[in-house]
């Protein structure tokens, strides 16, 4: 279903905008008279314009629907915790740096990519928990403020319950913030390890090539040296003979 929702806007755009112009264009090519050819050409241009307009409107509607559908899918996946294999559905919630780092690791170091995906899943859960705790805490504070305005009613029990909710949500927010900080520290450690490992291979290969280039002279220089020594030997033999 997710794949269908992903490709549906573009397939619909092509399906709505292309058929009418293609049909009238084929009729234009097959027309035998100038008048009919002119009519079919006009219908081709009109069909292309109307089809493109309708396709663009439908495309925007489907893109908006796809965005909401994928958001609901991410919310459903996050209910029981985000796993490393589900991180691909949460790519829009990652930062640009996180997306680039994950892509580089997947291309060059699959093991580090798996570890990084685990940490990203933890970071996403901590971020969502922190955001939800802040939102719920703000809602409780608003209810307490509205409750303070009520006169002539016994609201002590409700106020105590809201105070307990406020304390619980405050503790949840602090714990989520602490977990998020730990997760970000682990992400930095994995990124540093990946950068060190990925650059080490390239650096080692360059050093090996540099050492080989310094140990062995280019072939042309070696040939020139051999020719010079042969010329010197031939000149020495000529001088001895003479």
Q: What is the mean pLDDT of residues 188-206?
A: 64
pLDDT digits (tens, 9 = 90+) for 127-153: 888 888 899 989 988 888 888 777 777
Q: CA-to-CA distance for 58 and 14, rounded, in angstroms?
A: 11
Give the residue, 240 or 23, on which the prediction is more confident.
23
DSSP 3-state of 83? coil
Give the pLDDT score at 242: 60
**Residues ≥6 apart with Cβ < 8 Å to 177:** 130
Residue 240 has pLDDT above 80, yes or no: no
What average pLDDT does the chain have? 81
Res. 18 pLDDT band, cuts 50 70 90 = confident
Write the DSSP assignment of 147-205 as a string of letters.
Answer: HHT--SS--HHHHHHHHHHHHHHHHHHHHHHHHHHHHHHHHHHHHHHHHHHHHHHHHHH
Tokens read off for 182: 């730990």
Residues 122/84, Cβ–Cβ less than 8 Å? no
CA 195, distance to chain mean position in Å, is 19
Least confident of 89-93, 155-159, 208-212: 208-212
Residue 52 is encoded by which pair of tokens? Answer: 């493109």
Q: pLDDT of 88-120, one tens digit each?
A: 888 888 888 888 888 888 888 788 888 888 888
pLDDT-based confidence at residue 241 (cuts at 50, 70, 90): low
Question: Helical H runs in 79-109?
Answer: 96-108
DSSP structure class, residue 93:
G
User: How many helices (H) and strands (E) would you count in the chain?
Assistant: 7, 0
Domain ranges of the chain: 1-80
């Amino acid at each position: 279903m997710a794949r269908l929702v992903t490709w549906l806007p573009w397939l619909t755009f092509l399906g709505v905008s292309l058929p009418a112009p293609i049909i009238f264009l084929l009729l234009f090519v097959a027309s035998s008279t100038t008048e009919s050819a002119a009519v079919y050409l006009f219908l081709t241009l009109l069909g292309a314009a109307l089809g493109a307009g309708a396709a663009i409107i439908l495309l925007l509607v489907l893109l908006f629907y796809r965005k909401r559908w994928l958001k609901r899918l991410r919310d459903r996946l996050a209910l029981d915790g985000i796993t490393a294999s589900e991180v691909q559905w949460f790519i829009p919630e990652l930062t640009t740096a996180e997306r680039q780092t994950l892509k580089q690791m997947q291309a060059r170091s699959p093991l580090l990519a798996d570890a990084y995906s685990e940490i990203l899943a933890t970071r996403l859960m901590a971020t969502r928990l922190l955001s939800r705790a802040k939102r719920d805490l703000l809602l409780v504070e608003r209810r307490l403020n509205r409750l303070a305005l009520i006169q002539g009613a016994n609201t002590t029990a409700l106020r105590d319950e809201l105070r307990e909710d406020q304390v619980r949500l405050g503790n949840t927010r602090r714990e989520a913030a602490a977990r998020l900080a730990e997760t970000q520290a682990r992400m930095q450690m994995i990124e540093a390890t990946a950068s060190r490992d990925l650059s080490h291979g390239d650096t080692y290969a360059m050093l090996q090539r540099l050492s080989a280039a310094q140990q062995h002279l280019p072939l042309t220089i070696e040939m020139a040296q051999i020719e010079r020594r042969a010329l010197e030997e031939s000149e020495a033999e000529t001088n001895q003979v003479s």
